[in-house]
Chains A and B, each alone.
Chain A
Amino acid sequence: MTASSVEPTRRDFLYIATGTVGAVGAAAALVPLIAQMNPDASTIAAGAPVEVDLTPIAEGQVIKVFWRGAPIFISHRTKKEIEAARSVNLSSLPDPQADEKRVKAGKDQWQVLIGICTHLGCIPLAHSGEYNGYFCPCHGSVYDTSGRIRQGPAPKNLPLPPYKFLSDSKIRIGEEDTAKV
């Protein structure tokens, strides 16, 4: 065996080029192995928008419907609940957001929330907790009547699903209101 020259040879280049192509190929082969775990076509199709008729929901009532396997809370809020949500000093909130930003304009009484605790995914109970909003029994997160986090380990407010009013008494969940600016 003679000592190889310091200068890279054509053979070195071929080794490195072959190895690189092989590594890229192996990485590409991983794509389907990993991507197969993402939501499949039927799951995505089953996540189509749902329409909900609001007329049977009495004032003060919270109903639960399902969209994409997730519970959606539809709350018909009372005047008192709206007032409670709007009289809060925003800077005192962990995730500050005005109640007006969490409902559609002119539909202050209707609040639509994804009913999944932002901590670890349990379903909070309506009309409970210190703020008479939502309370998660799993780890004690407390939300107010606007679904904003007030106490406990959850980091964020209850998220809002995309939805729009089709009429005064009908909404479609899963579709953003593009008309509104």
Chain B
Amino acid sequence: MSGHPNDALGPKAWPFNLKTDSGAPYEIPSYRPTNPVLRWLEYRLPLLSFAYSTAVSYPTPRNLNYWWTFGGILTFLLGAQIVTGIILVMHYTPHADMAFNSVEHIMRDVNYGWLLRYLHSNGASMFFVAVYIHMARGMYYGSYKEPREVLWILGVILYLLMMATGFLGYTLPWGQMSFWGATVITNFFSAIPLVGESVVSWLWGGYAIGNPTLQRFFSLHYLLPFVIVGVVVLHVWALHMVGQNNPTGVEPKTEKDTVAFTPYATIKDSFMMVCFCIVYAWFVFYVPNYLGHADNYIPANPAVTPTHIVPEWYYLPFYAILRAIPNKLLGVIALFGSIGILAFLPWLDTSRVRSANYRPLFRQFFWIFILVTVGLGWLGSKPAEGGYIIAARILTFYYFAHFLIILPVLGWVEKTKPLPNSISESILTPNRSAN
């Protein structure tokens, strides 16, 4: 698997090395419009043939399972967040004196305002549900390994942008959790030696969180989703250069290993999207505030900190890591390090085998890692005292050990199962070695 053909041949997009069943070089079926108007357009801007060869006839590995549908779900959610967000802005007032009431105005007076706001606030949570599944899939099947390192790193950047966007958005209702969440998060930067205080004052636009802070957070919350769109374009471009990974981790070799994107992937993606939307709708219509905090329905009060301050659920594991470290600067470094370390995953995992299906030891450590992360999330929601802190320290140590000790060592000591010769062989031979 080392030495991808791209390295020798220069940048050529997948499936340049795919063969037809007879062994001839494979070519993606392209679209030739017969309609004269479309043909006129095609010679000036080949939009239709581009869409056709990337989203219709594009070959995808034939063994993709439902874990591969979350990229499509994330794209849908990004669109949904942008649409509901643009509408909410039509009714929201980004001012410290008016923001809280304008959100209540959306809830009570604006036609379907309650629906749009709940879609947007729960949509953020669903976004993180989907991205965590998407990331876990990448980790399980080794999708970050050569030649997909850049694809993976762009994903880590997208995740960071999502976290920033989610945080900025959560401050906008200007409730107690908005205010104090913003205070705690911006104070991370006060841990920077020497210039920390100046940096924080610059971020705030004052000596404390206040109206200038709210206004700039609003501006940035509107900006970042479009930055995300831009990085998604790069992410998909990088994906199309190297092709999709698949549950075997063995690259497709012949046409027989693939199926056309449409209808196979589009229908599978759409079906899972509908299932996902059922969950999304259940939250929106039945428990719209379950994932939020009651304290955020109290207007921001700079004089009183809520007794139990916790971030949104999707930040909890990192919050637990922050609180597990008794030193402020080191705690903040550990928090950012726990996310930043993901970018180095392609080089920390030394195994040549991609998929956990053929890595019996890694598969167990993968699930332990998932449990540790969930455990950290649970601890992040608990008060920082006594046994919770001790448990958080043990799990924080394990979290980093997974990346810095377990993954590098596993690649050397693990005896992997034999890989199938091809995707089609792994599916069509009755006696599968994996699973």
Q: Please list the residues of chain A having a beta carbon within 8 angstroms of any beta carbon in chain B.
A: 34, 37-40, 43, 47, 64, 66, 68-71, 118-123, 136-140, 152-155
Q: Is B206 an interface residue (CB 8 A)?
A: yes
In the bound complex, do residue A140 and residue B384 qualify as a contact, i.e. CB atoms below 8 Å apart? yes
CB contact list, B157-196 vs A, under 8 A: 180, 183-184, 186-188, 190
In the bound complex, do residue A43 and residue B212 qualify as a contact, i.e. CB atoms below 8 Å apart? yes
Q: Is B331 an interface residue (CB 8 A)?
A: yes
Task: Name the segment of B139-147, B300-308, B362-370 touching the other chain.
Answer: B300-308
Task: Pick the residue among B186, B208, B308 that contacts A69 (CB under 8 A).
Answer: B208
Report the bound CA distance from A152 to B210 in whole Å. Answer: 27
Q: Is B203 an interface residue (CB 8 A)?
A: yes
Contacts of A120 in B (CB 8 A): 183-184, 187-188, 190, 328
In the bound complex, do residue A138 and residue B212 qualify as a contact, i.e. CB atoms below 8 Å apart? no
Contacts of B329 in A (CB 8 A): 155
Q: Which one of A47, A119, A153 has the highest number of Cβ atoms from chain B below 10 Å of its Cβ?
A: A153
Contacts of B188 in A (CB 8 A): 120
Task: Count contacts on B: residues with CB < 8 A to the other chain.
Answer: 37
In the bound complex, do residue A39 and residue B305 qualify as a contact, i.e. CB atoms below 8 Å apart? no
Q: Is B7 an interface residue (CB 8 A)?
A: no
In the bound complex, do residue A153 and residue B307 qualify as a contact, i.e. CB atoms below 8 Å apart? no
In the bound complex, do residue B303 and residue A47 qualify as a contact, i.e. CB atoms below 8 Å apart? no
Contacts of A37 in B (CB 8 A): 202-203, 205, 216
Q: Give B310's nearest chain A residue, CB to CB.
A: A138
Task: Pick the residue among A34, A137, A152, A155 that contacts B309 (CB under 8 A).
Answer: A137
**Nearest Cβ on chain B to A163's Cβ, whole angstroms:** 15
Task: Pick the residue among B187, B207, B305 that contacts A68 (CB under 8 A).
Answer: B207
Q: Is B406 an interface residue (CB 8 A)?
A: no
Q: Give A136's nearest chain B residue, CB to CB.
A: B305
Q: Can you list 6 residue pairs at the A/B interface with Cβ under 8 Å?
A: A39-B206, A120-B183, A122-B180, A138-B180, A140-B384, A154-B328
In the bound complex, do residue B303 and residue A66 qualify as a contact, i.e. CB atoms below 8 Å apart? yes
Task: Pick the residue among A39, A118, A154 that contacts B207 (CB under 8 A).
Answer: A39
In the bound complex, do residue A70 and residue B207 qualify as a contact, i.e. CB atoms below 8 Å apart? yes
Q: Give A116's nearest chain B residue, CB to CB.
A: B208
In the bound complex, do residue A121 and residue B328 qualify as a contact, i.e. CB atoms below 8 Å apart? no
In the bound complex, do residue A38 and residue B205 qualify as a contact, i.e. CB atoms below 8 Å apart? yes
**Nearest Cβ on chain B to A85's Cβ, whole angstroms:** 23
Task: Pick the residue among A70, A121, A138, A153 that contacts B326 (CB under 8 A).
Answer: A153
**Nearest Cβ on chain B to A42's Cβ, whole angstroms:** 9
Report the bound CA distance from A138 to B310 in whole Å. Answer: 8
Q: Is B323 an interface residue (CB 8 A)?
A: yes
